[in-house]
Amino acid sequence: VIRCRAAVAWAVGKPLSLEEVEVAPPKAGEVRIKIVAAGICGTDENLLQGFFPNADFPVIPGHEGAGIVESIGEGVTSVKPGDKVMPVCLPQCGECSFCLNPESNYCLKTHFSESQNLLPDKTSRFTCKGKQIHHFLWVSTFAEYTVIPEYAVVKIDAAAPLDKVCLLGCGFSTGYGAAINTAKVKPGSSCAIFGLGGVGLSVVMGCKAAGASRIIAVDINKDKFAKARELGATDCINPQDFKKPIQEVLTDMTGHGVDYSFEAIGHADTMTAALASCNMSTGVCIMVGELASGSVIPLDPMLVLSGRTWKGTLLGGWKMRDSLPKLVSSYMEKKFNSDLLITHTLPIAKVNEGFELLRAGKSIRSVLLF
């Protein structure tokens, strides 16, 4: 058993508490990782605000991170102690019907199908003050050591800087892949991105990489516009500057609406606005943001009857265990610069400060270091 620091969420809506926790050794098929760096993602904020109805508290959040294998359980073959690795919040068991389908990146082990609050044997490896602490998406990167099933761990390039590539575990990959894999943005096309957080700005990067000629960034926080332009946005607009609905503004700007629209916020009203802002016949709208579980989106069926496509994306459509090592290699080859998304680097003791920056719209990505 290892004793180490972790940021524990004891209850919904409460600040995280830095605690000493006990981390049990890995059982068969599990890997214990020393986490070096972890990103703060909007999904962690959603967890703390109670958006996950099937999440159990107390819990150690965090699902974006990178570290080094400390030890392995019986039967683990893909990694060994000392390897640089990243945990993935979307497992790839390699055996279910979705994993076997080359067009799918879903896995039946993911939290939509099977709770990931405890490890697959329905026990936790974390205890604190004599109490069982739950895992989050089997990852829990806000702990200095964490235990994860082998099929949610990926070995990466030994030269990769962990404090930088940790973003590839969720935020960057989700946005970039939404453009490249899910939308399949075509060269010369027009795109609109609603929400310029870490994920939305990664969509901007993906649209630019795909060769889009017009990339319209939409946000009510004008402080995000300079970064959006740096990453490839051609236009930046604030819906509050217009009297008419933003979908009408975008339609006026482009003639018949954009070719591709992306919602990276997670609000019902912006989901329908994003759908209405793409071309009524051939437009494709990608749902990237997470709505609170149980949310309902009112929809005029004429929005899709005329031919629009509305689809969701989970972690940007990547089969993470297959794709993440390649994404890290692309980062090392400077094919994209996800470092531009990192606005703050904080010690784990300042985790609550990181969340305050996120809520205030003052950060894009904060990275926590142990």
Tens digits of residue pLDDT in 241-264: 999 999 999 999 999 999 999 999
pTM more than 0.75: yes
Identify whether 320 is part of a domain.
no
Q: To which H or E segment does residue 329 belong?
A: helix 320-332
Is 157 in the same domain as 9?
A: yes
Considering the domain boundaries, does residue 55 fall inside one? Answer: yes
pLDDT band at 133 (very low <50, low <70, confident <90, very high): very high
Q: At what angle do helices 268-277 and 246-254 cross, to 10 degrees?
A: 20
- Each as own residue / partner, the long-range contacts of residues 354-357 (CB below 8 Å, 24 or more positions apart, any chain) are 354/40, 355/15, 355/16, 355/40, 355/44, 355/45, 355/48
Same domain? 50 vs 157: yes
pLDDT digits (tens, 9 = 90+) for 194-221: 999 999 999 999 999 999 999 999 999 9
Q: Has residue 360 got a pLDDT over 80? A: yes
The answer to whether residues 165 and 246 belong to one domain is no
pLDDT at 293: 77
Domain that holds residue 298: 174-313
What is the rounded average pLDDT of the residues 231-239?
A: 98
Over the stretch 18-60, which tens digit does the pLDDT of each residue have? 999 999 999 999 999 999 999 999 999 999 998 887 889 999 9
Q: Do residues 98 and 120 make contact, with C-beta atoms less than 8 angstroms apart? A: no
Domain boundary among 313, 328, 356: 313
On whether residue 322 sits in a domain, the answer given is: no
What does the pLDDT look like over 267-300, one tens digit per residue?
A: 999 999 999 999 999 999 999 998 887 889 989 9
Would 154 be classed as within a structural domain? Answer: yes
Rounded to an integer, the average pLDDT of 103-121 is 92
The residues pairing with 32 across neighbouring beta strands, listed in sequence order, are 71, 147
If asked whether residues 81 and 28 sit together in one domain, one would say yes
> Per the domain annotation, does 333 fall within a domain?
no
DSSP line for 166-218: GGGGTHHHHHHHIIIIII-PPTT-EEEEE--SHHHHHHHHHHHHTT-SEEEEE
Based on the fold, state whether residues 215 and 362 are members of the same structural domain.
no
pLDDT at 112: 85
Which token pair is 105?
Answer: 């990146």
CA 144 to each of CA 9, 36, 139: distance values in angstroms, whole numbers, following the listed order: 15, 7, 12
Domain count across the chain: 2
Instruction: Tell me: pLDDT of 115 over 90.
Output: no
- Spell out where the chain has E strands: 2-8, 17-23, 30-39, 65-72, 84-87, 126-128, 131-133, 145-149, 153-155, 190-194, 214-218, 235-237, 260-263, 284-287, 309-312, 342-347, 365-369
Same domain assignment for residues 19 and 133: yes
| Residue 158 belongs to some domain of the structure | yes
Q: How confident is the model over 67-103, as pLDDT tens digits?
A: 999 999 999 999 999 999 999 999 999 999 999 999 9
Q: Kindly state whether residue 64 falls inside one of the protein's structural domains.
A: yes
| Amino acid 61: pLDDT | 98
Whether residue 161 is found in the same domain as residue 242: no
> Do 186 and 142 share a domain, yes or no?
no
CATH number at residue 237: 3.40.50.720
| 193 and 293 co-located in one domain | yes
Q: Pick the closest to residue 206 from 167, 229, 175, 183 (CA basis).
A: 175
Residue 186 and residue 136 share a domain: no
- How far, in whole angstroms, is CA 38 from its chain's centroid? 12
Asked if 132 and 225 sit in the same domain, the reply is no
The confidence band for 113, taking pLDDT boundaries of 50, 70 and 90, is confident
* Amino acid 263: pLDDT: 98
Q: What band does 122 get if pLDDT is binned at 50, 70 and 90?
A: very high
In 3D space, the residue among 131, 121, 113 whose CA is nearest the CA of residue 28 turns out to be 121
Band (pLDDT 50/70/90 cuts) for residue 339 is very high
**298 or 334, which is more confident?**
334
Please, what is the average pLDDT of the chain? 96
- Amino acid identity of residue 199, one-letter, is V
Q: For residue 63, what is the DSSP state?
A: -
User: Among 170, 150, 124, which Cα is nearest to 33's?
Assistant: 150
Decide if pLDDT at 308 tops 90. Answer: yes
Collapsing DSSP to helix, strand or coil, 21 comes out as strand
CA distance 13 to 50: 7
Whole-number pLDDT of residue 53: 76
Q: Are 55 and 137 in contact (CB under 8 A)?
A: no
- What's the rounded mean pLDDT across residues 224-250? 97
Share of the chain above pLDDT 90, in %: 95
- Distance (Å, rounded) from C-alpha 184 to C-alpha 350? 39
The token pair that represents 225 in the structure block: 């516009």
CA nearest neighbour of 310 among 286, 280, 279, 274: 286
For every residue of 125-167, DSSP letters joined together read: SEEETTEEEB-STTT-TTBSEEEEEGGGEEE--TTS-HHHHGG
Q: Is residue 323 part of a domain?
A: no
Alpha helices by DSSP H, 4-139 = 42-48
- Read off the CATH number of the domain in which 164 is found: 3.90.180.10
Same domain, 116 and 216: no
- Are 328 and 301 spatial neighbours (Cβ–Cβ below 8 Å)? no
Residue whose structure tokens are 């096309």: 189
Residue 16: per-residue pLDDT = 98
pLDDT digits (tens, 9 = 90+) for 140-176: 999 999 999 999 999 999 999 999 999 999 999 999 9
The position carrying tokens 């994993």 is: 99
